[in-house]
A and B are shown apart, each in its own frame.
Chain A
């Protein structure tokens, strides 16, 4: 799993580096840190319970969407964490029920959730009170990027630290036992159902708060927050072997590479995503051996 003394300085560099860049890169670094937290939150489920979700756009996008709608109806920004918490609970229940399926079916079922929301989101149009949404999406007040960066950095540090602590804890060990073999875990007295529910909740909770910081950063959300691209992002960003810092580095690289590739041609970054998806089975084998 790698040593903390290597991983912590790398994280510190990633978080300090934006302070010495111009506004554009500062903004991009903020986005990268948000997506790094997103990948780590997703990784909590994949790494600890062996469930590959392609539906984490559910807590991520739904929190962003509902926060924007709540803001539209006059709820203050301070109210938005409650929305994140509610979405986390709903998502945890959905993920837990889905985890009763086998691992392959779980991947496809969770993928379906994201796609369904992607399809349904444009239908959120409230005409009477002039809430149109639809393909346009919703906006909230624009916060200073520096303020959002404080939130996104704090969230990344908390998610990273939590992953580390969980990995060293007895709860983490029981989760990893469930990941390796559910029946064998049950046979030595582990309450597999409880462990899976708890894992679903923790992963959903962090992802929901990432969704909240995401809407604060962009100040706008549209149906594409549920896109396939966002659904597969954490999967692609975590294909490389290593500790918890690898998914973080993967996320930063993907955000910056996507940005660079899109200057060549719009959506050109999807070619990179596709290439990484193709090589992912081979890379993941190393990743699994390492963990």
Chain B
């Protein structure tokens, strides 16, 4: 179980998050809010990519606030970027393979190929990531996440900058992840886009949960 306790974040004097409390025991939590409301910062703090100004993050009753991001991935908490961040000069298969390595280095190519097949991007395996479309990059981002064998997936606006067709494909994958039992936190601007995926919602506005 993941618990966020009294987490605040301030950049210089600007308050981005103020005393956030939330829990994720199971299922999918939707986090909605406008641009600049602090959704991404909240997910990054949980993933360890940002440090909170104060407050704590607990996972399986253990305080992981000071744990580095890479250690949190080993624990099973993994984050996907709003704007996909592939390893541009590597192939799709290498991108997935390197993500598999957190769970051991044996048979990574086979494991990576299996996950590519599961997500439906095996036909892109030999392509360099720098030639992929936005939709393909989003799918690669999801594939990389699954390759780390996570327990909790933090998805930062997975539908951003996607056309209708690609948004549908991403949504189908997320529903599949949900059926497979992954716990997820997903951010979005609007409630509507998440209503089929999320079980619960919270709204973040001006750094606070409303």
Binding site for B on A (CB under 8 A): 170, 173-174, 176-177, 179-181, 183-192, 288, 291
Q: Does B159 count as interface, using CB distance less than 8 angstroms?
A: no
B47 A187 Cβ-Cβ under 8 A: yes
Contacts of B188 in A (CB 8 A): none
Binding site for A on B (CB under 8 A): 47, 49, 68-70, 73-74, 78-81, 85-90, 94-95, 97-99, 101-102, 105, 108, 144-145, 147-148
Contacts of A183 in B (CB 8 A): 49, 85
A189 B97 Cβ-Cβ under 8 A: no
Please pick, from B70, B86, B89, the residue contacting A291 in the complex, using a CB distance under 8 A.
B89
C-alpha gap A187/B73 in the complex (Å): 7
Please pick, from A170, A184, A187, the residue contacting B101 in the complex, using a CB distance under 8 A.
A170
B70 A173 Cβ-Cβ under 8 A: no
A-B pairs, top 5 by smallest CB distance, nearest first, are A189-B73, A189-B102, A184-B85, A180-B87, A188-B99
With A170-B101, A174-B98, A176-B87 as contacts: A184 and B81 at CB distance below 8 Å: yes
- Kindly list 12 other residue pairs between chains A and B, CB separation below 8 angstroms, not including A187-B49, A189-B74: A173-B97, A174-B98, A183-B85, A185-B87, A186-B68, A186-B70, A188-B145, A189-B99, A189-B148, A190-B70, A190-B98, A190-B101
Contacts of B147 in A (CB 8 A): 188
- Chain B: which residue is nearest A173 at the CB level? B98
Contacts of A173 in B (CB 8 A): 90, 94, 97-98, 101
Contacts of B49 in A (CB 8 A): 183, 186-187
Contacts of B144 in A (CB 8 A): 188
22 contacts across the A-B interface (CB closer than 8 A): A170-B98, A170-B105, A173-B97, A173-B98, A177-B90, A180-B87, A180-B88, A183-B49, A184-B85, A186-B49, A186-B69, A187-B78, A187-B80, A188-B144, A188-B145, A188-B148, A189-B74, A189-B99, A189-B148, A191-B68, A192-B70, A288-B89
